[in-house]
């Protein structure tokens, strides 16, 4: 049975949704922002241009979990389960990148000038990809969930679960310095931090996740040193992804659920004071949300199979 995904498009206060066959977890615009590229389960890669949809051959049946487009070259990295890391040229030619792990990879993200990419995954796995070479980065403990490069710098936030194996405490937020190739702890707590995104000016980042004890949602602002909690109605709300509008003081936040009949999949807009839901549903749960570079279009991706633990 091919369960559907949902693609949400928000432009000029108008919301459109479309269902897509198959389970998709991540998306990115191509370099020209003319096409959306989706990645998902069983090696699925989809190119969406308006109403036109094309399948791209991936050469794998592994579940693909995160996609990132190089801003300089337009090439694409896609990270997936069992150590699957794919590199796609702009003509969609796929090459598998050999890496020294078979763990499930959760995140991949190019820096601002496309010279370095970070790849993160379970069990503290963190890799740097540059000049077609892989460097293993030590220091991670628990499952690493997301990467957010600070604009125009060589520093990145890496979000993490708060416990490693056998409930060993772990930092839930790390800072990566590409200049020294070092990973250091930035925050500890009892929340699994899942998504993060920096403001365009790099002054602060929004970080989202949930308290693993009380199952309440967590939204916080991180200024590079300290985290400040954001108040919101967080009971059994599971924020998993966030994106700052690059031209305005508005953040989009997407939520999933831990299990069916326990929360909704929603997309919220936050202006620094109040939250405004633009979509909620008890069938589809979101794993990715992002504004385009001009800040004129918001896209969110969800599926019936998305849960907080598999984002």
If one counts every other C-beta atom within 10 angstroms of the C-beta of residue 115, the result is: 13
Give the architecture (CATH level 2) of 190-311. 7 Propeller (2.130)
Residue 308's nearest CA partner among 163, 210, 167 is 210
Residue 165's pLDDT is what? Answer: 82
How many whole angstroms separate alpha carbon 82 and alpha carbon 308?
19
Residue 147's pLDDT is what? Answer: 98
Task: Give me the numbers of helices (H) and strands (E) for the chain, helices first please.
Answer: 0, 28
Residue 192's nearest CA partner among 165, 173, 178, 167 is 173
Beta bridge partners of 268: 253, 277
Mean pLDDT in order along the chain per 10 residues (311 residues): 86 95 96 96 95 94 98 96 95 92 98 97 97 96 97 97 91 98 97 97 97 95 95 92 95 94 91 96 96 97 96 93
Contact 257, 307 (CB under 8 A): yes
Residue 2's pLDDT is what? Answer: 57
Q: Read off the pTM.
A: 0.96
* Backbone torsion region of residue 22, taken as left when φ is above 0, otherwise alpha when ψ lies between -120 and 50, otherwise beta: left
Largest Cα–Cα distance in the chain?
Answer: 48
How many whole angstroms separate alpha carbon 32 and alpha carbon 40?
22
Contact 67, 85 (CB under 8 A): no
Residue 294's pLDDT is what? Answer: 95
If one counts every other C-beta atom within 10 angstroms of the C-beta of residue 195, the result is: 25
Residue 125's pLDDT is what? Answer: 98
């Amino acid at each position: 049975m091919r369960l559907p995904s949902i693609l949400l498009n928000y432009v000029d206060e108008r919301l459109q949704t479309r269902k897509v066959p198959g389970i998709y977890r991540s998306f990115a615009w191509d370099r020209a922002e003319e096409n959306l590229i989706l990645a998902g389960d069983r090696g699925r890669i989809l190119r969406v241009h308006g109403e036109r949809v094309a399948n791209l051959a991936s050469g794998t049946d592994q579940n693909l979990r995160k996609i990132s487009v190089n801003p300089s070259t337009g090439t694409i990295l896609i990270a997936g389960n069992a150590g699957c890391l794919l590199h796609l040229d702009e003509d969609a030619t796929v090459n598998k990148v050999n890496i020294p792990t078979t763990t499930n990879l959760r995140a991949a993200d190019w820096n601002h000038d496309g010279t370095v990419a970070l790849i993160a995954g379970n069990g503290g796995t963190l890799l740097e990809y540059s000049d077609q070479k892989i460097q293993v980065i030590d220091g991670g403990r628990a499952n690493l969930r997301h990467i957010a490069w600070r604009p125009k710098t060589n520093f990145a936030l890496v979000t993490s679960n708060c416990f490693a194996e056998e409930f060993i405490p772990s930092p839930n937020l790390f800072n990566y310095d590409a200049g020294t190739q070092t990973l250091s702890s930035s925050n500890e707590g009892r929340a699994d931090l899942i998504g993060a995104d920096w403001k365009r000016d790099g002054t602060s980042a929004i970080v989202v996740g949930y308290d693993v004890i009380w199952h309440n949602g967590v939204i916080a602002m991180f200024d590079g040193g300290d985290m400040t909690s954001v108040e919101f109605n967080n009971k059994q709300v599971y924020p998993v992804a966030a994106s700052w509008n690059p031209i305005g003081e508005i953040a989009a936040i997407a939520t999933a659920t831990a299990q069916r009949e326990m929360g909704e999949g929603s997309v919220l807009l936050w202006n620094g004071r109040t939250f405004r839901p633009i979509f909620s549903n008890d069938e589809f749960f979101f794993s990715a949300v992002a504004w385009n570079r001009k800040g004129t279009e918001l896209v969110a991706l969800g599926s019936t199979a998305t849960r907080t633990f598999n984002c």
